[in-house]
């Protein structure tokens, strides 16, 4: 499908000029399933008893429930943001600060609220820098 056939392509991201300071966006929600946890443990080697030992979880963990690694929640959140805002725009991940406020459990549904905190042209023509504050809810 070409751009000249009259159809607008869905799923494309935003360019920096489309993201003024103060703009707020919200991703769709996504439930994090048991299979997500098991695949993440397998891919990363995070074989922590809080994630993979049901007896320990039931009798000794602080919640008695399946807690998700913060890195898994971050990865799901980044996926939600990427598919909604960054496709085909060309971007570079420059850094982050992460503050985990509480546990996320298997079966929880998360979405991401984004707020643009900085938006400006870069030193090289045709490019820009956008910083956002992303909250996983």
pLDDT in tens, 33-90: 999 999 999 999 999 999 999 999 999 998 999 999 999 999 999 999 998 888 888 7
- Direct distance between the N- and C-terminal alpha carbons of the chain, in angstroms, rounded to an integer: 36
Closest CA relative to residue 136, chosen from 108, 107, 106: 108
Using pLDDT thresholds of 50, 70 and 90, give the confidence band for residue 8: confident
- Listed in sequence order, the DSSP H helices in the chain are 34-44, 49-52, 54-60, 70-81
Residues 6+ apart with CB under 8 A from 61: 50, 67
């Amino acid at each position: 499908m070409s751009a000249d056939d009259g159809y607008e392509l869905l799923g494309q991201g935003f360019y920096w000029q489309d993201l003024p300071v103060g703009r707020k966006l919200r991703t769709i929600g996504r439930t994090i399933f048991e299979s997500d946890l098991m695949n993440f443990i397998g891919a990363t080697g995070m074989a922590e008893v809080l994630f993979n030992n049901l007896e320990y979880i039931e009798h000794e963990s602080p919640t008695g429930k399946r807690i998700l690694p913060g890195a898994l929640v971050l990865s799901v959140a980044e996926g939600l943001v990427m598919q909604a805002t960054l496709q085909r725009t060309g971007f570079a991940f420059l850094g982050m600060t992460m503050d985990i406020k509480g546990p996320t459990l298997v079966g929880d549904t998360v979405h991401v609220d984004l707020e643009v905190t900085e938006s400006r042209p870069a030193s090289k023509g045709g490019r820009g820098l956008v910083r956002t504050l992303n909250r996983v809810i």
